[in-house]
Structure 1
Amino acid sequence: MSWAQCTCFFSRNIFVRSLSMTFEYFGDESFLTTYKSFLHKLKVTDDKIDEILAEVRRESSDRRFESIRSLERKVNIVKHYTPLSRTSFVLSADDYQPLVANLLRKMKQRRFEMDEVFSLLEPVPELQEVYTLPLLTTACLRRLNAELDAFLASGLPASRPNTMNRQGILLCELPGHLARAHPETPSDPGGADVDLISQGLLSSVGPVSLRCLLQLIFPDIGGKIDSYRAFTVEYEGPAAVDLETTMDSGLSYHYDNAELTINICLRLQKSGDRSFDSAVTMPVDEDAAGGEICFAHPDPHWIMEEPCPPAALVPNQPGWALLHRGSHVHGAQPLAPGYVRRNLIIWLRSTSVRNSHSPCPRCHLRPQIVPLPYWLNGQVVEGKLPPSDQHVITSGFGDGFWLDSLPSQSASLLTQ
């Protein structure tokens, strides 16, 4: 029994930033046969096509080893990084906005009215199943940002958050509260992502959880989430951004490899002001800051035609969460010069969907899955997960597929 990923990750949806387009790679000859004439129609020269081919080939090769490299980075981080607090990512009821915390308690006890829900949960006009919610307190944002800033300042190598964003942190690579930094037998059966989500946002035993809310607004899937991929993304206004830099200003249209997505703004402030307290107490002009989340179409098979104005723009507000289906095509508008933004993205997944002979949500084909590796007693191992009392380090849940069978209560971390 093991978490697994679809092999389409190795060869499909390879993003080329210079064209804001995605490509597939099944060898040089196949690539040129598929794309050369099309790129010529876009006035792309042969020399540029050679550059694009080299970029796509390199990315495809890197992806084949990414799960192992991510695991090796996690081992290195567990050994050498000392968090500001072992429980920075463990959420308590006090970390939620009081009105939201009270509503979530009542929802778990089934003592709520629908009017109460929609007095806090705001549907986005003109969009289907897209909602915003004032979720986390200023104190919680301060703690999370301080821990994330401390890790970035450590200089330890970390993975890209996803295949499109260049800056951010995979929370599965950060140590969880159960991590042990023994030099020879380090261990971490979870990670910061497990602390934040399994024991916080989607806890099945805690007094405050989004689980009941997701079941209400997404009744077909909200109660079936059993894995996730959580990461931060960093944006900076375009004055200091171009194709040669490592910072992003905005993000092209895409859909998420997720059944549901939670997007929480952790920071939006002037780039010269690194004081989070002042960024909260002095509200940012959202219209001036830019960086809105732009939604285009609810169907991932939709083909974008240029120019295409978004159906709706959703501004970023620190502490607010944006909830939507992962299949809803969306992007991020460019951030205005002089501003920085940090968001926490959580892709929620369900094995009841992914192991049900349905197409892979990323490639829309029959999934071809391979097990996710883990670290055990000093070496990388693939296959059945060992008992939790072993010196094991895991890094995430792959694509949310479960190899051999659906997760039992002991296997699914969301039952903790």
Structure 2
Amino acid sequence: MESRKFFSCACFYVRNIFLKQLNCHVEYWDRSQFIRSYSQFLYKNGYKEEEQIDSLISEIEAEIDRRKNREYESIKRQELISQIYKPLYPQLTQLQESFLSPEFLAIVNYCKQEDATFEGLFDFIQETQVPRTYSFPVFTAEFCEMFLAEMHNFNQSDAPKERPNSMNRYGVLVHELGFQPFFTSLRENYFNPISQILFPDWGGGTLDSHKVFTVQYEPSKDPDLSFHFDNAEVTVNVALSPKESYKGGNLYFGAMRTEVDKESDRTQYIHEPTIGVIHRGQHKHGASPVTDGQRCNLIIWMRSSAIRNQKCPMCDQEPQLQKSLGFGDGFTRAETVDVCSVI
């Protein structure tokens, strides 16, 4: 799969730029457009001086530069990491079934059966307290402990690092540590069969690329995560940290991106170690503040080019393809399939 050519959409370089101090995403084409579009909003939020706006624009332009250079910089980092970083557990980069929960393997085995059904799958998984999200064990406790130790060891090293995305400042892009084969196998052989039954109209069974990273929350760094949706067709969020290692930090879900969202209707999801919650990427969600300790989760964004080729999920337009390295943002020049209107 990785030999296929993937692309990004041009909107990635002008849209959905997150500004944490304003808790919003903005669109930026140039200075005049930005001021014209957001002058009233900026004024209401205390940005009344030209110097304040200049500082904000400098931050936005730095983020755009980061996006434009992200793939080339990632390759450079991977080369340096391979030279200077000594892994604690080098065996982790190759997926072994011993890393996976027996319950998870049973789920996958069921989903691979020709007569597997959506209803039958609920003998193995459960819908969470949040409608249209589902939870099940993914990894063993031993694997989570080793993986966490590896991430901590890497963060304490002198190896170069990059933030996972514009909303998360702390965490690890795990492919830069050599985990790409691990998660390619996990997607192709394990999550695709599950997604094919749970989300058949939203990429399930045709998930052909991914982005995987850890996120780390603690009071003095990133304590929480603002309400948002993912650039993915299907997301899996696996809790890695023991429950006693932090307080707070629960997920909360609202409506789908295309639905009217009411804050009063949002529902919490409480993390359990080794357990993954799977949901559509367009299902809006956030994370409440961690008030003590540190919480680390593994985030797997899985993308279906057959779905996103017809409409970019970030700009709602036919994607304007831009050359990319690796998986890009999951677009290809392949044929598309119809997306069911059912949400």
Cα gap change, 1:112 to 1:53, in 2 (>3 Å) = closer
**Deviation of 1:158 (Å):** 1.6
Residue identity opposite 1:333 in structure 2:
S
8 Å contact 1:300–1:328 — kept in the other structure? Answer: no
Matched position secondary structure for 1:2: coil
List per-residue Cα deviations over 1:162-209 (Å, max 9, x = no partner): 11000011122112xxxxxxxxxxxxxxxx0331x222x2343xxxx2
Change (3 A) 1:301 1:42: farther
- d(CA) in 1 for partners of 2:258 and 2:54? 29
**Alignment equivalent of 2:36, drawn from 10, 33, 38:** 33
Match of 1:294 in 2: 252
3-state SS in 2 of match to 1:125: coil
Counterpart code for 1:20: N
Correspondence 1:196-211 to 2 at 5 A: 197-199=183-185, 201-204=186-189, 209-211=190-192
* Match among 275, 278, 284 for residue 320 of structure 1: 275
**Aligned letter for 2:298?**
L
**What are the residue-to-residue correspondences of 1:20-59 with 2, within 5 Å?**
20-46=23-49, 47-59=51-63
Q: Which residue of 1 aligns with 2:301?
A: 347
Say if 1:250 and 1:332, in contact at 8 Å, map to a contact too: yes
Partner of 2:135: 132
Partners in 2 of 1:95 and 1:39 — Cα distance?
A: 49
The within-5 A match list for 1:262-411 is: 262-269=236-243, 289-300=247-258, 308-309=263-264, 311-336=266-291, 338-355=292-309, 358-373=310-325, 396-402=326-332, 404-405=333-334
Counterpart CA distance in 1 for 2:230 and 2:274 is 21
Q: Which residue of 2 aligns with 1:216?
A: 197
Give the match for residue 100 of structure 1: 104
TM-score with structure 2 setting the length: 0.88
Question: How far apart, in 2, do the equivalents of 1:101 and 1:340 lie?
Answer: 29
Instruction: Select the residue among 58, 75, 79 that pairs with 1:75.
Output: 79
Which residue of 180, 193, 201 maps to 2:180? Answer: 193
Equivalent in the alignment of 2:235: 261
CA contact (8 A) 1:89 1:144 kept: no
Cα deviation for residue 317 of structure 1 reads 1.1
Q: State the secondary structure of the residue aligned to 2:73.
A: helix
Task: Single out whichever of 51-60 and 21-30 deviates more from structure 2.
Answer: 51-60
The CA distance in 1 between the partners of 2:265 and 2:249, in whole Å, is 13
Q: How does 1:154-233 map to 2 (within 5 A)?
A: 154-175=157-178, 192-195=179-182, 197-199=183-185, 201-204=186-189, 209-220=190-201, 221-233=203-215
- The residue type equivalent to 2:329 in the other structure is D
**CA deviation after TM superposition for structure 1 residue 50, in Å:** 3.1
User: Contact conserved, 2:22 with 2:45, CA < 8 A, in 1?
Assistant: no
Identity %, equivalent residues? 33
Superimposed CA distance per residue, residues 206-259 of structure 1 (whole angstroms, 9 cap, x where no aligned partner): xxx2332211111222101010000000011x2xx2xxxxx2111001110000
- Determine helix, strand or coil for the equivalent of 2:165: coil
What amino acid sits opposite 2:257 in the alignment? D
Give unmatched runs, 5+ long, in structure 2.
336-343
TM-score, length of structure 1 as denominator length: 0.73
Offset from partner CA, 1:281-328 (integer Å, 9 cap, x none): xxx7xxxx21111111112575x67xx345210011110001000011
Q: Is the 8 A contact 1:269 1:340 kept in 2?
A: no
Structure 1 residues 148 and 320 mapped into 2: Cα distance closer, same or farther (>3 Å)?
A: same
Contact 1:257 1:361 in 2 (8 A): yes
Q: Which residue of 1 aligns with 2:224?
A: 250
- Residue range with higher mean Cα deviation, 88-97 or 6-15: 88-97
Aligned AA (1:218): F
CA distance in structure 1 between the aligned counterparts of 2:197 and 2:176, rounded to whole angstroms: 32
Report the CA distance shift for 1:72/1:310 in structure 2 as closer, same or farther (over 3 A): farther
Measured on the aligned residues, the alpha-carbon RMSD in Å equals 2.4
**In the alignment, is the contact (CA less than 8 A) between 2:173 and 2:212 conserved in 1?**
yes
| 8 Å CA contact 1:120, 1:134 repeated in 2 | no
Structure 2 CA distance for partners of 1:112 and 1:224, relative to 1, 3 Å: closer
Q: Provide the rounded CA distance (Å) in 1 between the counterparts of 2:75 and 2:258.
A: 30
Report the counterpart of residue 61 of structure 1 in structure 2.
65
Deviation for aligned residue 1:80: 2.3
Q: CA deviation at 1:126?
A: 5.0
Structure ID, larger Rg? 1
Distance 1:352 1:169 in 2: 28
Against the structure 1 CA distance between its residues 300 and 344, is the aligned structure 2 distance closer, same or farther, given a 3 Å change threshold?
Answer: farther
Asked whether the equivalents of residues 133 and 320 of structure 1 are also in contact (C-alpha less than 8 Å), the reply is yes
| Contact 2:7–2:321 under 8 Å retained in 1 | yes
* Matches of 2:287 and 2:265, distance apart in 1: 10
- Alpha-carbon distance, 1:60 to partner: 1.9
